[in-house]
Structure 1
Amino acid sequence: MSAEKATAIVLRTVDFSESSLVVTLFTREFGKVRGLAKGGRRLKGPFESALDLLARCRIVFLRKSSDTLDLLTEAKLERRFRLAGCDLAGLYAAYYTAELLDALTDDHDPHPALFDLADETLAGLAAGDEVGKRLLRFELGGLRELGHLPSLDRCAECAKPIALSGRITFGLLDGGALCGRCRQGKRKVASVNAGVLRIMARFADAGEAWRRIEIDARSRGELRGLLNHFVCHLLGRKPRLHDYLGQLAGR
């Protein structure tokens, strides 16, 4: 076993014993890491209370060669997640960010750009950024980074370019927009405003253009509903935090 060092975001903690924790972290260098932190529940020790949910920390861990848990030996807090105000929507969005990171990534599969996006998302939510836009940016940017972004301007079936005007057929089972010919006989399809797909593309793109986008309430609700259904299909289940995200349609 070799000692590895990494910058990590704490996604989940589970009590293992009176003094120890099983911790799920998303690291910039190694991807998702699941480790046993012996003494992690103690206020004093090698972890210095650094393993709070959503905290960013520097960790040292021993990587196991088998499927057993890695051994977390040290953690130093770099930033604790604290909201600037009493905004429950921001807190739920942060928890949802951690849930998606855990659900959509594999152990020891690094995605540095995804780590940076998640770190930026949590910092923005803590600072009081507009919750709805910040969360859309994470979801769509994360789907792009992981190769799960739906086809938005070409038919997901035949790859024919689609004119983004009027109403567009979106196939949940097919992975995106469908042209008039390919939509025939498809199951689990939705009719969405073309403007919603354009907004999704802008939020998925790299860069800062998404910050300047203004989304009207109707489009925001339609987009939130479509994205929720797409994520549920991708995961094969409903995320635990989805019930708390309905309020974001109006934010």
Structure 2
Amino acid sequence: MRDRLYTTEALIIRRSDVGEADRILTIYTPQYGKLSVTARGVRKMTSKLAGHLELFIHTHLQLAKGRSFDVVTESRVVQPFRSLREDLSRISQGYYVAELLDQMTADESDNPALFRLTCETLAALDVLDEVVRRDVILRYYELHTLILSGYRPHLFHCANCERELSPEADRYSPTTGGVLCQQCSNSEPRTLPIKLNTFKLLRYLARMPLETVASLAPAPETVHEARAVLKASLSQVLERELKSTQFLNLVRG
């Protein structure tokens, strides 16, 4: 239950223009989850909110309860993440993170750990220059979004029989929910190949904090294969492909 006037941290993950000067914002907050709110007059040059409610910004908001939408009355930027709106590669990655968060969450369902993960991910994408390292950060975000949403991929024990996995395991099953041992992979028709280096990378990403992962620069083909298996798991959960994936692939080339 929210008070008539309340404050919250928020990430701006989607927006749409309404009328002559208003905007509807989709925000993600640590204590209230995903909300749709309105920013009245924000598109006017004289608005005190102008520049404070851009996409991907981490902000501290004051809101007033409204009939259809709560209304933003004040905004103080916590982290602007400017590079995510200035560099095309980072823009595509920012849109991808925002859409993934949007699609993996229900309205008004709080997940403080997912909020913190998203803030850390956007911060890393904002400062890292190497493309391969930013790609690793996206893989980390995909994996931990699945974990925090209750869809942890099996990476240490077989997704089917729960035996401890050996380095020889080389098949990933999105439908079963992770890596299969050699015995179980023979009876599962819909699997993806997973090489040893990719297997090791995913296990490392699952165990380590993001600040440690940010220094990794694995071979591009390893990151590409990790992207394929995590994309398959996300598609299994969402039953669709994210629209921003096409933009991301187009920019990546």
TM-score (norm 2): 0.85
Q: Which residue of 1 is the match for residue 175 of structure 2?
A: 173
1:147 equivalent in alignment to 2:150: yes
Q: In the alignment, which residue of structure 1 is the partner of 2:126?
A: 126
Please name the residue that 2:92 is paired with: 92
Q: Which runs of 5+ in 1 are unaligned?
A: none
Q: C-alpha deviations, 1:179-228, integer Å up to 9, x for none?
A: 34433443421121133122112112242442344412321221122222
The answer to whether the 8 A contact 1:57-1:77 is kept is yes
Change beyond 3 A, Cα 1:212–1:166: farther
Q: Point out the more displaced range, 114-123 or 38-47.
A: 38-47
AA partner of residue 59 (structure 2): C
Q: Where do 1:145-224 residues align within 5 Å?
A: 145-163=148-166, 165-207=167-209, 208-224=211-227
Instruction: Tell me the CA shift for residue 7 of structure 1.
Output: 0.9
Q: Per the alignment, in what secondary structure is the counterpart of residue 214 of structure 2?
A: helix
Give the match for residue 6 of structure 2. 4
Percent of pairs with identical residues: 26
Aligned-residue CA RMSD (Å): 2.7
**Cα deviation, residue 8, structure 1:** 0.8
1:233 aligns with 2:245: no
Partner of 2:106: 106
- In structure 2, relative to structure 1, the CA distance for the partners of 1:85 and 1:97 (3 Å cut) is closer
Asked if structure 1 preserves the Cα contact closer than 8 Å seen for 2:43 and 2:50, the reply is no
CA distance in 1, matches of 2:98, 2:169: 33
With structure 1 as the length reference, what TM-score do the two structures score?
0.86
Shift of 1:26: 1.0
Q: Do the aligned residues in 1 keep the contact of 2:64 with 2:72 (CA within 8 Å)? A: yes
Query: Kindly tell me: are residues 199 and 19 of structure 1, through their superposed partners in 2, closer, same or farther at Cα, counting changes over 3 Å?
Result: same
Contact residue 224 and residue 249 of structure 1 kept, 8 A:
no
- 1:6-45 superposed Cα distances (whole Å, 9 cap, x missing partner): 1111101111211211100111232211112222322333
Greater Cα shift, 234-243 or 78-87: 78-87
Partner Cα separation in structure 2 for residue 88 and residue 198 of structure 1: 31
Instruction: Determine the structure 2 residue equivalent to 1:76.
Output: 76
Q: Is the alpha carbon distance of 1:205 and 1:62 closer, same or farther for their aligned partners in structure 2, counting shifts above 3 Å?
A: farther
Q: Distance in 1 between matches of 2:204 and 2:238?
A: 23
Distance in 1, matches of 2:181 and 2:169, equals 11
Which residue does 2:58 correspond to in 1? 56
- How many residues are matched? 247
Check if 1:138 corresponds to 2:141. yes
